[in-house]
Amino acid sequence: MAVLVDRVRTFFLPEHGGVRAAPAAVIAAAGLALGLLVAGSGPLQRLDWAAYDAFMRVATGAPSPAPNLVVVAIDELSFAEIGQPWPWPRALHAKLVEAIAKQQPASIAMDIVFQGAGAATEGDEALARSVKAAGNVLLAADLAPIEDRNYSVVQWSDPLPLLAHAAAGVGAVTIPFDPDGAIRRAVFEVEGRPILAVAALAHAGLPPPADPAHERLIWFNGAPRLGIETVSYYQALDPTLLPRGYFTGKHVFVGRALRAPASDEADTFRTPVAVQMAGVEIHATIADGLLRRQFVADPFGGRGAFLAWCALIAAAAAITAFALPPGAGAVALAVLGALITVGGYLALASAHVRVPVAAPIIAALAANGAGAAYRFTLTNRERRLIKRAFKHFVAPAIVDQMLSDPSKLKLGGEEHEVTVLFSDLDGFTTLSEHLTPPQLTAYLSGYFRDMIDLLLAERGTLDKLIGDSIMVYFGCPIGDPRHPVQACLGALAMQRRMREMNAEWARAGLPQLRTRIGINTGRVVAGNVGTDTIFNYTVLGDAVNLASRLEGVNKEYGTLIIVGEETWGRVSDRFDGRELDWIRVKGKARPVAIYELGAAAGELDPRRRELFARFAEGLAAYRAGRWTEGAAHFAGALELDPADGPSRTFAGRCQAYLSAGTPPEWDGVHVMRTK
């Protein structure tokens, strides 16, 4: 026995080495089994349906009432107007049927069980005459339990035969409940009888569902009285209270809609969109689903499909526990949970498909937790082994550094002269609205791959990716005096590739994007910066901050590449461009000159070269405060290119100063108000 225990311990906790495939697979399988056990439990099922209900409420927050359907509600207002206790005389219902029938509705479905004889024979006969004369009235039958001290039986409560023979049909009003007591589903027949909605629509010529016994999830249009157009019973009795022809051509459902029941029998139920919804409105909602074929698909309704979905997510979570570092694994798990949640909502809201959310997330947490716990155990064991092996030879603090990979922990940094490039995608939000998350990830990954390859080809060093932004520096960690030229060549290559990508995206029907770039040269501190356990090789300093600001300044001038004066001073003989402005960025007192990078020397289009010349003339007049002359030069530039952003910006400034007058402190410097 001891030998077996030792073998098991050695299998899962080897003396040397990290995570091994075989024990990791066993732990992952155990975590997966645990996740499925948790996911299949009753509480998790109820939590999943609670999430479904929340999604339904959000998705129907802006109600879209069903067309051609009306609920006539026996509500509190009607009781107040009519002034009689429930049940109301059947002669009154006869008047209602007559009033509605005069407007030629498609059908009248009465969600009232007229069982047995009424209080007055005349009332039964009057209602029968009205129902028969209308020719399109459907009555209700209910399958309900009858309980006594000695027995309990379930039997049908049918309408009085006199009324049933006069009606166009009889429909069941029995609706199944979910285990938590909510109504989310509909069946189209009960013990061979069509439900009320099916009977009403069948009378109007709509064929019955192909599989009437199959349960379907109901798509609710909105909160009570908002998802289905609703009027009060007393209004329907008096044609003058509603627009002329209000019921014409519509399916009319009549039933109780009271917040508090008028008798011992309640007729309100909990649904995904409300704690209390009238049964008659639920029947009308089912009819709307049949008319518009608008039910919620439930591909995971079967236990096998449900467990397979949970197993897939739990398996992915288990893999992240072993394939990624702990921090990245936690982020990946959080992203996975967010994607499942957002995806579940979008599937319901956009495609009317129910996707379980809570159960697979809990299953993922269980599976990932098992793997993470095992990995944590292995890591701690490995650390203890290393510490035990070296603690007699070096100081404990040095051992700790060794455990954290001390070769990469030379903190602080050295001063270097570098050129920093920041880029940002303009229009990325618009692109994200046209793509699914996987498609968006693929497009963004392709963009990053191509752009980074171009920058690395010019000996750039990738610092970080921030959302859809890129930060790269040149001249470090391996010094190279050509770093300003390398940065400018990389920026131009990015713009060429961006034009190609836009052409490809245009063919795919996607919006066009712009890459804005800011470049600046200066002294920085470069090196591993951080703590003993958290660090990053990066560059820091004012030159970095200004490069980031220049990228944003493109928005002010409608440009794509702006370089600082230090960079332009090093590359002006290698590239064509134009001086844009003197600016004072937020937080800095000293103004800086900024330039637009146009093309490599000799490659600038002649028309654009002429535009740059006219712009330069306008800029000189602008700085001298000659607003009329400047505006004329910028107008000439715009004749060459009406879309030229800098010319439009300066033309607007000249017009503003012509109107407001030259500021007394005018020095030609434009102050940026934002970062």
Q: What does the pLDDT look like over 36-84, one tens digit per residue?
A: 776 667 777 888 888 888 989 998 877 778 888 999 999 999 999 999 9
Instruction: For the beta carbon of residue 200, count every other beta carbon within 10 angstroms.
Output: 30
pLDDT given for residue 494 in this prediction: 95
CA distance 149 to 123: 34
Indicate the SS3 state at residue 253: strand
Looking at the chain, which residues constitute the CATH 3.30.70.1230 domain(s)? Answer: 416-601
Looking at the chain, which residues constitute the CATH 1.25.40 domain(s)? Answer: 605-675
Q: Which amino acid is it at 229?
A: E
CA distance 315 to 491: 42
Topology at the third CATH level for domain 416-601: Alpha-Beta Plaits (3.30.70)
Question: Could you tell me if 386 and 402 are in contact, meaning their C-beta atoms sit under 8 angstroms apart?
Answer: yes
Indicate the SS3 state at residue 251: strand
Within the chain, which residues score under 50 in pLDDT? 8, 11-12, 16, 262-264, 389-399, 401-402, 405-411, 532-533
Say if strands 414-426 and 469-474 run parallel, antiparallel, or are unpaired.
antiparallel
Which helix (H) or strand (E) covers residue 599, if one does?
strand 592-600
Of 265, 226, 274, 295, nearest in space to 73 by CA: 226
Kindly report the backbone phi and psi dihedral angles of residue 274, in degrees, each rounded to the nearest multiple of 5, phi listed first.
-165, 150
- What's the pTM value of the predicted model, to 2 decimals? 0.55
Structure token digits, residue 433: 């609205």
Across-strand partners of 470?
423, 465
Question: Could you tell me if 626 and 666 are in contact, meaning their C-beta atoms sit under 8 angstroms apart?
Answer: no
Say if strands 69-74 and 230-232 run parallel, antiparallel, or are unpaired.
parallel
CA distance 128 to 110: 13
Indicate the SS3 state at residue 612: helix
Cα dist from 102 to 98, 112, 214, 244, 314, whole Å = 6, 21, 37, 11, 61
Question: Could you tell me if 107 and 251 are in contact, meaning their C-beta atoms sit under 8 angstroms apart?
Answer: yes
Question: Could you tell me if 618 and 604 are in contact, meaning their C-beta atoms sit under 8 angstroms apart?
Answer: no
Give me the helices (H) in 40-68, please. Answer: 42-59
Radius of gyration for the chain, computed over Cα atoms and rounded to the nearest angstrom: 37
pLDDT given for residue 398 in this prediction: 34
Domain 605-675 in CATH 1.25.40: yes
pLDDT given for residue 549 in this prediction: 92
CA distance 76 to 456: 74
